[in-house]
Structure 1
Amino acid sequence: MRPPPLWLLWLLLYGLGATAPPLDSFSQLAAPQHLNLHLYNDEQILSWAPSPPTNDTRPVVYQVEYKFITGSWNKVKDVNCTDITETKCDFTGGGGLKSFTGLRLVHLRVRAKQGSLTSKWVTSSQFEHYCNVTVGPPKNISVTPGKGSLIIHFSPPFDVTTEVTFEYHVHYWEKTGTQQVSGPFEKNSIVLDDLKSFRVYCLQIETQLIVKNKSNCRPKSSFSNVSCQETTAKDYTRLQVTLILLGISLSLLVLMGACFYLFLKYQSQVKYWFQAPPNIPEQIKEYLKDPEQPILEVLDKDSSPKDDAWDSVSIISSLEKEQDRVLQTL
């Protein structure tokens, strides 16, 4: 027996009120590709590569949905990620942020739409915000030099719930020294003491997010920018400097006193040591210039006759004449 023709089957089906099966719309529009979830501090941004272009001139829009590990798929509340033209969905600051924080397992999925055409859903891998986030460095870091110390103040990278806490490690070093690590610290104020005075120290702060009661959850950490400061003098160093200056002053006073005493005691010898050396007479210098000259002529050449000359000689009176004059007067 031959099978009935196809037109007869079609007539029987549609004649009985049956509807034709819908076309497979998934095969008509390509799905988004390369989903990427950006988790940095409190930022949560899902991005993807657009669907390949088609000959259709209608715009391509995207829809984003989420679900928890034991829930159903839902649209993201308070964040417009339905029928959007851009290829990312920013959950930061919206209702999704409150839903996706903490340690709840979350799935995200995206599909493309173009008019009546729809692509398949593309699902991202599950994530836990506190376990998969990259923790940035502290904010508002200030470093104040102290007496042989550095005082550090800062703010946490972002707000967290009671399920987790921040720990900080300080990596510091002299400009020409080796790196050291201090920590962990839980407070936002840290003092690095026992440092050398008047030395330049550089430091970086590392932030770690510690999830309580979950040792296998270790999110990525990051370092702050390098900050350098010079320490000031310690109290005992200032005292030492004062004592050193006082000792130098006393030593100088003692040395000056000893020098003055020795000068008074050996004054004649000091004068002898510091007196000018004897000069060679000019006649001898002339003779040494020309030794062939007779030495006596050289000595008489420059002798001044004024030294032995007398302008006049007069005798005022003699003792005998004075006595006779006195007797005659009497």
Structure 2
Amino acid sequence: NDLGVNCMNLTKLECNFTPSSLSTGFPPHFNISLRVRAKLEDLVSPWLTVPWFLSCWNVTIGPPESIWVTPGEASLIIRFSSPFDVPPNLGYFQYYVHYWEKAGIQKVKGPFKSNSIVLDGLRPLREYCLQVKAHLFRTSCNTSRPGRLSNITCYETMMDATTKLQQVILIAVGVFLSLAALAGGCFFLVLRYKGLVKYWFHSPPSIPSQIEEYLKDPSQPILEALDKDTSPTDDAWDLVSVVAFPAKEQEDVPQTL
């Protein structure tokens, strides 16, 4: 046939009339009527006429294909391909994104004409689920057909610069408070157990080496050694001054014995 589709002697209960190129296929403004019959060896059923089909009104739009999602800083970047090709002079697709934070309320963004969509304004480090849907607008017959939603996929957003800065500040403040609490605790313990700390860090008393030797060997003349170490000149005068007075003044000076 002209469509290049062979639907004779099929073993399956379906036949794909999708054209192999944009130059072939049923014209979108044509009413199409099909007849179907079954055959088993020499037995043939009567023809069954199916309801009229008009592409502008009865076409089923599938979900976008090859959906690829890249997590960004508090955003999701979505790329996909259209359900099928449409000649620009006959129509175009518009796309809607249904998304929600996991266990949250669903939101819808659109319409978009591009196959690359950026969902921004999301919360960082949160898991979001999404579905994409295509709407077909036929300019030739002035109709709009909504498509089916894609499968649900979930992704986690990345942290943005503000969140990174907040995280660094929180870590720094946490470390500072921990060190301050540790220093305060140590200071409190030192004040509370000051005597014990002083005892721990105080050097033990020591005895003179001569006494230590005497304790090791009591037969040593320790007293004589100590007397020898004491010099008799330790208490001697270092300097003697002689003061002379005149004879008259000397008489006035009282004599002291």
State the TM-score, normalized to the length of structure 2: 0.62
Which aligned pairs between 1:269-284 and structure 2 lie closer than 5 A? 270-272=193-195
Q: Distance in 2 between matches of 1:185 and 1:275?
A: 77
Which aligned pairs between 1:1-330 and structure 2 lie closer than 5 A? 76-81=2-7, 84=9, 89-93=15-19, 98-110=24-36, 122-162=48-88, 163-212=90-139, 214-215=141-142, 217-252=143-178, 270-272=193-195
Residues 134-178 of structure 1: CA distance to partner in whole angstroms, max 9, x if unpaired?
111111111111111111111111111122111111111122211
Post-superposition shift, 1:209? 1.2
Q: Distance in 2 between matches of 1:85 and 1:251?
A: 78
Q: Match of 2:172, as an amino acid?
A: L
Post-superposition shift, 1:214? 4.6
Q: Distance in 2 between matches of 1:192 and 1:252?
A: 39
Segments of 5+ residues of structure 2 without an aligned counterpart are 200-217, 225-257
Q: Distance in 1 between matches of 2:161 and 2:22?
A: 55
Q: Provide the residue aligned with 2:214 in structure 1.
A: none
- CA separation of 1:165/1:142 partners in 2, compared to 1, >3 Å: closer, same or farther? same
Post-superposition shift, 1:245? 2.2
Among all aligned residue pairs of Structure 1 and Structure 2, give the percentage whose two residues are the same amino acid: 38
CA contact (8 A) 2:77 2:119 kept: yes
Between 1 and 2, higher relative CO (CA 8 Å, sep ≥ 6) is seen in 2
Residues 203-253 of structure 1: CA distance to partner in whole angstroms, max 9, x if unpaired?
1111221223755x3435211111111111111110111122223334445
- CA separation of 1:119/1:178 partners in 2, compared to 1, >3 Å: closer, same or farther? closer
- CA separation of 1:95/1:229 partners in 2, compared to 1, >3 Å: closer, same or farther? closer
CA contact (8 A) 1:133 1:220 kept: no
Q: Match of 1:78, as an amino acid?
A: G
RMSD of the alignment, in Å? 4.1
How many residues align structurally?
A: 202
- CA separation of 1:275/1:213 partners in 2, compared to 1, >3 Å: closer, same or farther? farther
Instruction: Find the residue that maps to 1:239 and give its secondary structure.
Output: helix
- CA separation of 1:210/1:129 partners in 2, compared to 1, >3 Å: closer, same or farther? same
Post-superposition shift, 1:85? 6.4
CA contact (8 A) 2:61 2:145 kept: yes
Q: Match of 2:159, as an amino acid?
A: A
Segments of 5+ residues of structure 1 without an aligned counterpart are 1-74, 277-310, 318-330
State the TM-score, normalized to the length of structure 1: 0.50
